[in-house]
Amino acid sequence: MGELAIAGGKPVRSDSYPRWPEWSEQERERLLEVLESGHWWATGGTRVPEFERAFAAFNNVGDCVAVTNGTHAIEVALMAAGLGEGDEVIVTDYTFFASAAAVLFVNAIPVLVDIDPGTFCIDPAAVEAAITKRTRAVVAVHVAGHPADLDRLVEICRRHDLALIEDCAHAHGSTWKDVPVGSIGDVGTFSFQESKLMTAGEGGAIVVSDPILGERVRSFADCGRLPGEWFYSHYALGGNYRMTEWQGAVLLSQLDRFPDQNRARNENALWLNDELARIPGVYPQARDERCTSQGYYCYIVRIDEEEFGATRDQTRKALIGEGIPMAMSYPAVHTLDAFATVDGFAPRLRNRSGLPDYANLDLPESMKAARTTLWFPHQVLMGDRRGVSDVAEAMHKVSQHAHELRDPG
């Protein structure tokens, strides 16, 4: 293998990866149909309800409510589950800001806990240890599409009478023992933001099987209205979280295309797991055998910096030089300014009494994942086998040249 590209050598890859988002004539036609129908909002519309039915069937749940985005999906799910002032919600510390911020938006308290070092998902033992008299719910994120340990989480939540909310923003198409994620806890939430596995630019969905909870979700997402009642009756303090018909139209096409994309990502990721595991110091995200399909919002590997011979950031820079696109790991939530500084929640919350001392939490696995993981965007899994073999080759190359990347002294 020649010189590293960042040292003047030839990059492993010069071709681009498949474009994201993907679209076709189908989206164009459906969007034009919406335009010409003159009916652009979901109230009395057809595309959003059609997408809701299709996405409910895809996830094997009784109902789906399409909303504005994935953050609002969590917020509405929490409201519908009856969460409010002073309640504690256990949330993983290794996630996007929104999983925890949504808890604050309903005036509840996020209690951040550590992760499993293999899957990077919430650690059920840490959940159990964090339960107090005020705990009412758990938000489990399926990181990079790998399901959190749903067997243990369901058992813990049943035993302590807690609502289990599955944040499936990374996990469209993920299954646990062949059952779609989102259908296993009380409620599942999805995001359709542009980088996600299905997208309408923005968008979200809540999937639910319990009909009473489903009705509450629909009401909170639509200004507290109830189906069949007068338009100006508002029975609860809900908001306008409605998706538009434009988004519904695009998502119908995205869903049609999804199963083939998901198959390709899974096949390529499993191949890449085997290849990368051969390189000293490179540890692909663990895949539990109960994970029967992984949505792969991104592909994550942990770098053991000692063993690999270079830091995560040096490795990342060298891989980008080799023509491999890279995403970025989340920082640990408790280190974010909003959580770690005194007025980080102002003006919504000025008095921090009763909140955890976020800045001083000891969550070593979450910190380690934030510091040592490489995140590849899902596009690297979407092409032919060469797409992933280039990733493997670039990683081998960087590994062999790792000593050159080290800081002198």
Ligand X SMILES: Cc1ncc(COP(=O)(O)O)c(C=O)c1O
Positions in the binding site for ligand X (CB under 6 A): 69-71, 95-96, 98-99, 141, 167, 169-170, 191, 193, 204
Distance CA 159, CA 331 (A): 32
Give Cβ neighbours of residue 313 (< 8 Å, ≥ 6 apart). Answer: none
Q: How far apart are CA 219 and CA 214, in angstroms?
A: 9
Shortest distance in whole angstroms from residue 166 CB to ligand X: 11
> Out of 161, 178, 231, 232, which one is annotated catalytic?
232
Distance (Å) of CA 104 to CA 2, 41, 133, 207, 358: 52, 29, 19, 21, 14
* Annotated catalytic residue 390: no
| Nearer to ligand X (CB atom), residue 96 or residue 339 | 96
Pinpoint the alpha helices (H) of 234-321: 245-277, 305-308, 312-321
Taking CA atoms, 183 is separated from 147, 180, 206, 213, in Å, by 12, 6, 10, 13
193 tagged catalytic:
yes
Find the shortest distance in angstroms from Cβ 148 to ligand X. Answer: 11
Active-site annotation holder among 30, 120, 193, 390: 193
List 47, 142, 242, 302, catalytic entry:
242
Q: Which is nearer to ligand X, 331 or 383 (CB)?
A: 331
Residue 48 or 169: the one with the smaller Cβ distance to ligand X is 169
Q: What is the dihedral of CA 166, 169, 174, 179, to 10 degrees?
A: 30
Task: Indicate the residue among 5 and 115 with the shorter CB distance to ligand X.
Answer: 115
- Is 247 one of the annotated active-site residues of the chain? no
Q: Is 225 a catalytic residue?
A: yes
| Residues whose CB is less than 8 angstroms from the CB of residue 115 and which lie 6 or more positions away in sequence, other chains included | 92, 93, 94, 121, 122, 123, 126, 143, 363, 365, 366, 369
Catalytic entry in 123, 167, 186, 390: 167
196 annotated active-site: yes
DSSP of 190-208: EE--TTSSS-SSS-EEEEE
- Our answer to whether residue 28 is catalytic in this structure is no
Q: Which is nearer to ligand X, 191 or 254 (CB)?
A: 191
Minimum distance, C-beta of residue 299 to ligand X, in the bound complex (Å): 15
**Residue nearest ligand X, CB atom distance:** 70
C-beta of 189: minimal distance to ligand X in Å?
7
Smallest distance, ligand X to C-beta of residue 142, A:
8
Q: Which residues are catalytic?
A: 96, 167, 170, 193, 196, 225, 232, 242
